[in-house]
Homo-oligomer: A and B are copies of this chain.
Amino acid sequence: MSLKPTDSELEILHYLWKEGPGTVRQVHEYLAATKEAGYTTTLKLMQIMHEKGLLQRSEEGRSHIYTAGVSEEETQQTLLDRFVETTFRGSAARLVMQALGNHKASQEELDEIRKLLNDIENNR
């Protein structure tokens, strides 16, 4: 799966990943809460995403119910790989360090990361 959602498409996927299946109307109202956008703009985007396979849909009366056609993890991994490549020249560690150095993480998250480090070392 090397589909690469655009930023606009990602916003739509985020809604569906978080809230589950929904209509164009629901997605549109979610988007409209944070940005200007016409209803048909959202509709068209979702139609195109459906053509690309990013969304699946089923008929429900006279409207459609859309579902994410790609998983959140898989998509994030694809985008992450690409991002590491283009922005950090392939060095995931540099990305991690820059991210840690400039963002706040909770104690639980830090513990989680440390545990991951241990797992990685033990499993090779």
Contact = CB atoms under 8 A, between A and B. Distances in A.
Contact of A76 (B11, B73, B88, B107): B88
Given A86-B7, A112-B97, A120 B103 contact: yes
Interface stretch (A23-31, A39-47, A52-60, A77-85): A77-85
B95 A80 contact: yes
A94 B106 CA distance: 11
Q: How many copies does the complex hold?
A: 2
Interface in A102-118: 102-107, 109-110, 112-114, 116-117
A97 B7 CA distance: 22
A108 to B, nearest CB: 9
A83 to B, nearest CB: 5
A102 to B, nearest CB: 6
A117 B114 contact: yes
Given A92-B99, A103-B120, 8 more contacts: A73-B98, A76-B87, A77-B102, A84-B104, A92-B100, A93-B113, A96-B105, A100-B113
